[in-house]
Amino acid sequence: MILKAEGIVLKTFNFRETSCIVTFFTKEHGKIKGVLKGIRKDPKKFGSHVDKFSVNQLVYYTHRNNDLHLVSHCDLTSFFFLIRKNLRRTLAASYALELVDSIMPTEEKNIKVYQLLINFLTELEEIKDINRLVHIFQIKILSHSGFKPFLDSCVVCQKHIVPSMKFSMKLGGLLCPDCFANDRDARIISRGAIASLTHIESNDWKKALRLKLTQPVQKELKVVLNNFLVFHLEKHIKSEKYLSAR
């Protein structure tokens, strides 16, 4: 079968002498893997160098018993030049790509996550506060991919939120003082941080972007979100170096 798609390059590696295997996150078919034959010998064969986080128009042939497809056309549509000019922006983009690659199952369409990644990359070209943007991205991808944190009340006893709640990595939600005693990994979370999480989760991208995060709240979100993501993905994201270097 021949398929067309718009896809963001998540990762690439060299294959045999002249080819490349590329993982794309596509708008139409989710995460796919394709081989671009001969691209290293004859780069002009394709209208793209398949650089990480570039957006491309693809044509590819699917195989019935193999998830490695044959890409026949790949034309660049967005390059995000301003991200590439700056190391911190490039690292933040790499982190987002790794997160999408780790969270999203193969060949499962998710238009919300696709649009989120496009919005993130577009904003990342010029935004001043990169850390805040990364937090908004983390919160949004969690809620669009089935890991939405439970923030309405205590996840165990349903008691209302009180000033001293913790966030449980294991249960993905808030715990009250009666319930957090047995959860060693749970982290303290302030009301301000809970309110910020809820605001970002429940509003659209544009509105979420307008939310200001104070330094203490950013610090808390960094700990809670990074630990929660690591716990659920059961591995460390390599480009997390970006996050710890902040």
Residue numbers at the binding site for Zn ion (CB under 5 A): 154, 156-157, 159, 176, 178-179
What's the closest the beta carbon of residue 177 comes to Zn ion, in angstroms? 8
Please, which residue, 6 or 183, has the CB nearer to Zn ion? 183
What's the closest the beta carbon of residue 192 comes to Zn ion, in angstroms? 20
Question: Residue 36: helix, strand or coil by DSSP?
Answer: strand
What's the closest the beta carbon of residue 157 comes to Zn ion, in angstroms? 3
CA 216 – CA 89 distance, rounded (Å): 23
Please, which residue, 176 or 237, has the CB nearer to Zn ion? 176
What's the closest the beta carbon of residue 51 comes to Zn ion, in angstroms? 48
Please, which residue, 133 or 151, has the CB nearer to Zn ion? 151
Q: Given phi > 0 = left and psi -120 to 50 = alpha, else beta, which region is 25?
A: beta
**Element (DSSP H or E) covering residue 134:** helix 130-144
Q: Which amino acid is at 52?
A: K
Please, which residue, 74 or 176, has the CB nearer to Zn ion? 176
What's the closest the beta carbon of residue 159 comes to Zn ion, in angstroms? 5
Tokens 């998540």 sit on residue: 10
Please, which residue, 156 or 230, has the CB nearer to Zn ion? 156
- Residue 49 tokens read as 């160098």
CA 226 – CA 239 distance, rounded (Å): 12
CA 214 – CA 205 distance, rounded (Å): 19
Q: Which amino acid is at 192?
A: G
